[in-house]
Structures are given as C-alpha cells and as structure tokens.
Structure 1
Amino acid sequence: MRKILELDISPKQKEQLESLGINSEGWSLGDVVNIMAVQTAMKGNVSAMAYCRDTAGFNPELQLREAQFEYEKKQKSGEGVEIEDVSDIVEKIWGYDQWISMLNDGVPVLLTKQVPYRFSDIHLDYIRKCQDNTYNILEGAVRSGKTVDHVLAFAKELCDTPDKFHLATGSTMANAKLNIGDANGFGLEHIFRGQCRWTSYKDNDALAIRGPYTNFKEKIVIFAGGGSSASYQKIRGNSYGMWIATEINLHHDNTIKEAFNRTIASHRRKIFWDLNPEHPKAPIYAQYIDKYAEKAQKGILKGGYNYAHMTLFDNINISEERREEIISQYDPDSIWYIRDILGERTIAEGLIYNKLATSIAAKDGKFRIEKKIAQAMARSGKIIHINVGVDFGGNGSGHAFVATGELQGYEKLIILKSRRYLEGEYDPDTGKKILDIDPKALDELFIRFIEAVTKEYGFITKVYADSAESVLIRGFRTALVQSGHGDIKVVNAMKSKITDRIFATTALTAMNRLLITEDCESFEQAASMAVWDPKSLELERLDDGTSDIDTLDSFEYSFERDISKFLRR
C-alpha cells in the first residue's frame, strides 16, 4: 500500500491539482487521495471530516493519550507537568494537610495559577461545612457567587471520593456545562486544568478527570439537562456518587426524583443545590428544601443539612462600582429589588397586592402596627368594631380566621390576628401536626381563636362566615353558647364581588390606611403570594392551590359590609 501511495501521479491528476492552484511537482498518489478526502468532507461527508481531522492530528482522544503519554514520560524523568495551583484556597478552607493529601503520589508537577479565588467569610464558612453534610443548599440573589462555592466544594470531594461516576445538572445540558463546567473561569475544567478532558458518555457530555489531584484515579462527571419531564431518562442506568445541580428550581420533579434514586448506592453521597429565590410556596420548597430544614431542626435528617442564603453584597468579587451599577437598574422599593438583589423569596409577576407584598418582603414596617398599640386603641375606644371573618376549608384548602379592627370614622382598618389550619400542616399555636379537622375539631379551633381575640382586645362585634357551610355555622353558634360567648353573633358573609373586595384592599393600602400587627403571619403570606390568573381574560384571582385564598377570603368577609364607608371617607 505504501508503494502504491508513493506512485507518481498521472498527467490528468496533475491537471486537476493545477486547476486547484496547487503546484503538482513532487506530488504522489497518496497526496491526491488526501485532497479527494478534503473535497469529499467539504460536501458534508462526516466520515471524511473525521478522517481529515484525525490525519491532521486533531483527534481529541488521541491528543489526550499523547498528553498522558508525555505526562508519564515526564513523571519518570522528573519533569513537571503544568496543572492548576489551588494550594492557597485549599489551605485557607480545609487546611495544609488537605493540600498535602492531594499531592501525596509524589509526582513532580508544575503548579501555575490561573483561577483567582476570592471569598468573603460567609462563603468560606459555607464551603467548609459542605465537607460534613450530605445536603448542601445555597439560595440567594443573582451574582451572589452560589455556584462557584458548590463547584469548589464538589471538586474537593472529587479528589478522594471512592465513587467514579458523578452527576452535574442544569435546566439544560448547555446550562450545566456553562455554569458548572466553565463557571466564568471558576468551573471544574479550570480547577482540573491539565488533568481533564471533555468526552461523551451515553449521549451526555461528560468531563473525565484523571491526574495528581485524583491520585490518577479516573472520575467521570456526567452533564445533563433536567428541565423537561423526560430529562430523567438521560440519567437512568447509572449509579452516581455525588450530584451537583444549578438552578434546581428549574428542574422537573421527575429529574429530581431520578437523581436521588441514582445516588442511593453511592459510597459518599453528597447533594449540592443552588437556586435563585422562587415563589414562597414553590414545589422545590414545599416538597424538598423546607422539609429538609424542618427535619434537620428536629434532628431526624440523616447525613446533615447545610443551608445558606446569599445576597449580592456577599460577593466580594463584584466591585463597589459594579455593584452600584447593577443596583441602579432596580427600584429599591420594588419586588424585583427584593428578589434579585436581596435574594428573598417573593413573587414578582402578576402580584395583586404589589405595594403590600413589597413592604412585607422588605420587612420595612410601613404597614406594621405593634400589637400592644392596637390593644390600647381597642381599650380606649378608637377601634369601634372588631369583626372576625371565617372561610371554611376542604378539598385541599384550609380553614381560615381573620380578626380586623375598624377605627372611628372608618379612618383605618387594622388586621389584628389571623390563623389558617390545613390538614397535614402544623398548628401555628401548638406546633402539633393537624391530622384531621372534623366539625368538632373545627369548633375547638374557632373557639380558641375567639377567646384569644377577646382576651387580647376585649370584645368581638360580629363573626362573618362563609354562607356555603350552614351546618358548620350552626356548630359555631352552639360552640359559642357552650363556651360562654353566646353574645357573639355569627352571620353569613355578604360574599360581594371578589374584585370589589380586592380593589378596596389595594385602595386602603395605597392611602396607607391598612395596618397589620405582628400576629398576622398567615395573612402576610397570603397577601404576598396572591396573583392574577394569567390564563383568564378577566381579572380573576388565581386559585389553584399555590396561594392561600382562604385567608384572603376570611379577611375580606370581616370588613366587606363596610367597604363603602371606608371608600366614602
């Protein structure tokens, strides 16, 4: 074959070369074959493309083997191979012994630094805690440095974890590669510079890591998307040691469950999640993060729970000038500022009570009145009516009670107290789990609320209850008589048009005539999450279980009969 390829070319072939602008002098048949391969590749033939790439010496697999061969040659000869120097940050976070253990193979290397790590104390402390906890969750503002923390903690664990395969996910695979693999120069491919290569594993991009930091044991990090309902199929069939996920709130629940299942058999199981603030009742909180926090607080979550909240101000890599530039794009009194800069859980789109929700999220106290001041106003006669609104639960909704006080001349409306009871959740007063709310149990909750209001404020004018539940209303009346509160009347709520009730509330808010005591947590949560239904052409409050409509209804029942009096003023 060599002899054939070394044959001289024919006159016709020389003409073809000349027509391409190539001097045909000294060209062989093998040279013509290569030119034909290039021409074929230019027509879109993938095999020809690969042939041209590989023949030219650009095959990444071959390049890696050659690099590894050179590395081993230099290792034996004592020459250094250039890798990323992470000694300063490793020593600062985990100590000198950790750094020594990463280079305990005795291989001479050339350490050069390209990744400029700088962390504030809150970030250093969080990264340090990742070593001792299975669940590591970072939540907060955009550009607060969350992902970089996790990438570094994840990389440190990769060095000596006994597991070979690990998982890195984002809303899409490209997102995972961008935020975890690259991470603006702080990603895995930069930490393991000189020791890693991009490859493919089961239709997913993967980063293969093998070098001094892993003691020449290969670690494979598989990158996958998690945003669609079918994404989980891409990560099936493997067992993973650790899982790092960026923007976990954008992952489909199928992916989350599958990833957890895939890490069950790992030798060192670790989870790293980061996310920007979401809807306070978003599934990622309700089904995972808040449950973990609750179990960790009770001491029943095995493996350890490491959670931190970061703001834009915690990232010392952003200069003051750049930070001011970013902040200047936001209205400091807006819900967007609270979510994107302060990193608080809020709803930003479609809010009904925008001004009220913004104030609650900012905790600025603009609508706050101290409970003791409201009590003094009730004793002095400034509060002329105290009404209680009741909305009955069922089919996933909760039983809600709200007490409001109306000032003389209907000058202001004060929300004095609010409670919501939902089966499966915890009683806000006793801390006990609510298992079943039958009519008798509901009567007890109602009387407890009534007695708390009368004890704290002295009287109750009327109770306005949802007229759809006449049997429960009769039960309330009986319970009031039996408990010595027979003078308190329970009547049907007027249940006026919902938008009229909403606009009355927003009008009072706009005029700073709505006040809330510190004893109204359920109302504040409900007002902060109430949004318009995006699928309706009419103005309708979204009622799909993601927000607390029960508390809002009971609040509105308590004062709706006096709306005209408030607005007339």
Structure 2
Amino acid sequence: MVRELSLTPKQEEVMRISTYEPKRWNISVGAVRSGKTFLDFYRIPNRILAADENGAIALVGNTEGSVSRNIIDPMRQMFGEKLVGRVKSGGMVRLFGRDCFIFGAFRSGCADKLQGLSLSYCYGDEMTTWSEDVFRMIMSRLDRPNSIFDGSCNPASPNHWLKKFIDEGVKNGSVRASRFTIDDNPKLPESFVKALKRDYAGSVYYDRFILGKWKCAEGVIYRDFADAPERFILKRVRASDIIMADVGVDFGGNGSATAFNLTGYTAGYKRIITLDEYYRQGIISPAELERDFVRFIKKALRSYPCLRDVYCDSAEQVLIRGLENAARKERLPVEIHNARKGDIGQRIRFYSSMMSSGRYRIAAKCVNTIKAFTEAVWETGGTDRRLDDGSVNVDSLDAQEYSTERRMREILAAAR
C-alpha cells in the first residue's frame, strides 16, 4: 500500500516549485535527517512518469549499493514491489514502468558506464562524494530537450567543485538550490535533534550537518579533545567494565610508525575506551613485528579476555599473514581481519561525535594516541583531508580507527 503523502512545510515548498517550475538542475543541500531525501521518494516517480521515452533514466550515488540502500529500498517499502523492483545484475532496476540504470560515482572510472547514453532524467544521491569526472559525464549525457536532474547532498568545503557548479548555475538560472537545516524537519523527535546537535557541537560538522552550510575544514580536528584532554583521560580503568575489545593495527615504514591500539566497550556501547597502545617508529623486520604483536595480544588478554578481533591495514597482506601465523603458533584466541579502511571523513566524524557526546575515554598510559588526537589538524587549502606529512602522528589515529570501524554504526545507533 502506498504511504499517504505527508510532507513538512519545507518539503512542500521545494516539491511545489520543482514540480511546476523545474530547472534543468534541482539540487537540495543541507543537514542530515532534514527531509531532503525523503522528499525525493515522491519527486522521483513524478519525474520518471513524465520523462521523455527516447531518453534513458539513471539513478547515481556514491556506489550502486548506496543507491539501493538510500533510495531504492525505502521507495519499495513505500510503493511496493510492483512499482519498485529489485536491482538486477548489471545495475538495472524497474521503476514505475521504466527500466532504469544504477551507477556508482565515487571514482572517475565509473564514468565509462555512461558513455553512449542519452539521459532524459537523472537522480543524484550523496553528490559531494562523487568524482567530478562522473558528474561532468552526466552533464554531457543530459542532452534531451527537457532533460532534468534532481539531486541531494550534505554540504562540504566551499571549495568543493559541486559548490562552484551550484553557484554558477544559480547565477545563470540553470540551477535551483534548496537549503535544508535540521530544524526544517519538525517530525524528528526533539530528543534526537538535541542529541545530534550535541554530537556535532564544536566541529565543522555542526555547520554542515546541522545548519546545512558549506564550511571549510581547517585548523584542529578534535577541538573538544585538544582544548581539554584531561576530560577524556582515565587514570584507572576497571577491567570488569569492559565487555568486548578489539585491536587495530597500522603498519609502519619510511617516515611512519607501527601502531597497535586496544579498544574496549562497556555495556550498551555507553563508553568507548582506548585501553592500551603500542607505537614504534621506523622500519622493523617481520620477525620483530610478529614478536611484538604476540606480546601485545598476550598482555591484552590477561586483563581483557573478551578480546576476539584484530583489524589490520589491508595494504600489507604479507605482514598480515605473518601475524596470522604467529597468532596460530602461539594459540592466541583472536581472529585477524582486514580493516575496512572506509572513508576517512566518516571515521573522523565518528570520533568527533564520541567526544562531543562524552562517550570516548582513553587510558592515561596511551600517551602517543593522546598526543595524536591533540595535534591532529586538517590540511590547508579547504580540503577534507587530515594532514599526513610526517609532522604529526596519524599512525596511532589509523590504528585507533581500525579498531572501531566495523562497529561504528552500532555504536552511533546505541546513542539514539
């Protein structure tokens, strides 16, 4: 059964204007959970039904999987499988009587899939995560007389290529940009909004994900931690409070260090605590690495027998196999995995949120990780990249992030 149409005042305004006075480019930019994507669940069917039959239809996101999760699956729940099919191999899906292409746009090679297409309609999800090359290819493919593009994203740096495109398009009349703030969605529970504002307070993400502003990432990354590290440091950790533990491993080399970080979790993920660390600069032999790793894991297991999983930098498969063999030889009850190594921005946002909400703590003996969080800064030039030129310790940060990366969604969800 189709869900009854129920839009917020902001959604109604954008829906009305983009339906009766559409531009070639209609892009919603703004806060997380502000309702900009939910609006598109109703706008997309209208566009597909009105689209030129001589042109193709495409839905584009960071990856094909993210398009399915963010757009196709929710629409199927709303409109049913007869109107919203399932994505087939090759990236095709049947939507409202039309065969539609599904593309990922996170890297320039994805643009090859668009060659030869003539698009009458395209929808874009998470546009600030795209490769600019893919976006430029889409521009060239929207070649029908009434081709239309709808899209949405969270804002990034004011220097982002998409911001420049939007600004130029607004000036020449080809783009309609709609800005959403978190307060544009009155349907969100007040407690959730307060928690979200608290989580992003004091960081660049507050301006972007709460206020919906394009904001530079500059200066110190973890402002809460850098301003008052004593708020996060524990002189003593009760082992009985830790119900699960994981280790992250970052391998060193020229100009970098090898780092192991042991992270523990209290019940319900109420606290995430860095319990112990290993940090050694320079190149070490595989034998030394394996010896030090075994020592670190044995020490961790004596205090925290709940330790089960180790996540390693996946770029070093030979070294990982060495750790696996060493762990097997010593009969260590741990499983060694490749770290996910997802988007670094997500990892940074996770720890910013944990710090702002008071859920992150670190043992006083972890001096290298404490210093790393204190000194972490953004690259200059308005990018969203963490400075990694050898002048600051990012190795401990990588190891710390690897240790929690596979649990991030669960941990964030536990606070809601």
Of 121, 133, 138 in structure 2, the residue corresponding to residue 254 of structure 1 is 133
How far apart are 1:347 and its partner, in Å?
2.8
Residue identity opposite 1:234 in structure 2: K
Q: Secondary structure at the match of 2:196?
A: helix
CA deviation vs aligned residue, 1:258-277 (integer Å, no higher than 9, x gap): 1122221x253111121111
Counterpart Cα distance in 1 of 2:35 and 2:153 = 11
Q: 1:190-269, aligned counterparts within 5 Å? A: 190-191=78-79, 193-198=81-86, 200=88, 203-210=90-97, 219-264=98-143, 266-269=144-147
Q: Does 1:294 align with 2:171?
A: yes
Q: Sort the Cα spacing of 1:143 and 1:151 in 2 relative to 1 into closer, same or farther, 3 A.
A: same
Identify the residue that residue 165 of structure 1 maps to in structure 2. 56
Contact 2:217–2:382 under 8 Å retained in 1:
no
CA deviation vs aligned residue, 1:401-441 (integer Å, no higher than 9, x gap): xxxxxxxxxxxxxxxxxxxxxxxxxxxxxxxxxxxxxxxxx
Q: Which has the higher contact order (CA 8 A, sep 6+)?
A: 2
Contact 1:240–1:262 under 8 Å retained in 2:
yes
RMSD: 3.0
Residue identity opposite 2:66 in structure 1: N
Residue identity opposite 1:231 in structure 2: C
Q: Sort the Cα spacing of 1:329 and 1:268 in 2 relative to 1 into closer, same or farther, 3 A.
A: same
Counterpart Cα distance in 1 of 2:63 and 2:17 = 28
How far apart are 1:528 and its partner, in Å?
9.8
Counterpart Cα distance in 1 of 2:99 and 2:91 = 11
Q: Percent identity?
A: 19
How far apart are 1:118 and its partner, in Å?
2.8
Give the TM-score normalised by the residue count of structure 2.
Answer: 0.51
Q: Secondary structure at the match of 1:197?
A: coil
Residue identity opposite 1:256 in structure 2: F
Count the aligned residue pairs: 235
How far apart are 1:250 and its partner, in Å?
0.9
Identify the residue that residue 538 of structure 1 maps to in structure 2. 391
Counterpart Cα distance in 2 of 1:227 and 1:241 = 22
Q: Secondary structure at the match of 1:198?
A: coil
Contact 2:29–2:153 under 8 Å retained in 1:
yes
Contact 1:141–1:312 under 8 Å retained in 2:
yes
CA deviation vs aligned residue, 1:114-157 (integer Å, no higher than 9, x gap): x2543221211111111222210111111111112223112112
How far apart are 1:165 and its partner, in Å?
2.5
Residue identity opposite 1:293 in structure 2: V
Contact 1:311–1:342 under 8 Å retained in 2:
yes
Q: Which runs of 5+ in 1 are unaligned?
A: 1-111, 211-218, 356-526, 540-569
Identify the residue that residue 370 of structure 1 maps to in structure 2. none
Residue identity opposite 1:290 in structure 2: D
Q: Secondary structure at the match of 2:149?
A: strand
Q: Sort the Cα spacing of 1:322 and 1:312 in 2 relative to 1 into closer, same or farther, 3 A.
A: same
Q: Secondary structure at the match of 2:199?
A: coil
Contact 2:33–2:182 under 8 Å retained in 1:
yes
How far apart are 1:538 and its partner, in Å?
3.0
Q: Sort the Cα spacing of 1:337 and 1:233 in 2 relative to 1 into closer, same or farther, 3 A.
A: same
CA deviation vs aligned residue, 1:219-255 (integer Å, no higher than 9, x gap): 1221110111100112223222111001111111121
How far apart are 1:317 and its partner, in Å?
2.6
Q: Sort the Cα spacing of 1:199 and 1:528 in 2 relative to 1 into closer, same or farther, 3 A.
A: closer
Counterpart Cα distance in 2 of 1:232 and 1:528 = 27
Contact 2:84–2:95 under 8 Å retained in 1:
yes
Contact 1:140–1:277 under 8 Å retained in 2:
yes
Counterpart Cα distance in 2 of 1:141 and 1:276 = 6
Contact 1:129–1:306 under 8 Å retained in 2:
no
Q: 1:86-101, aligned counterparts within 5 Å? A: none
Q: 1:215-364, aligned counterparts within 5 Å? A: 219-264=98-143, 266-286=144-164, 288-296=165-173, 301=174, 305-331=175-201, 333-348=202-217, 350-351=219-220
CA deviation vs aligned residue, 1:53-102 (integer Å, no higher than 9, x gap): xxxxxxxxxxxxxxxxxxxxxxxxxxxxxxxxxxxxxxxxxxxxxxxxxx
Counterpart Cα distance in 2 of 1:324 and 1:235 = 42
Of 41, 48, 59 in structure 2, the residue corresponding to residue 151 of structure 1 is 41
Q: Sort the Cα spacing of 1:145 and 1:277 in 2 relative to 1 into closer, same or farther, 3 A.
A: same
Of 28, 37, 44 in structure 2, the residue corresponding to residue 138 of structure 1 is 28
How far apart are 1:354 and its partner, in Å?
7.1
Q: Secondary structure at the match of 1:139?
A: strand
Counterpart Cα distance in 1 of 2:77 and 2:42 = 11
Contact 1:226–1:252 under 8 Å retained in 2:
yes
Q: Secondary structure at the match of 2:108?
A: coil
Counterpart Cα distance in 2 of 1:338 and 1:528 = 18
Larger radius of gyration: 1
Counterpart Cα distance in 1 of 2:381 and 2:15 = 32
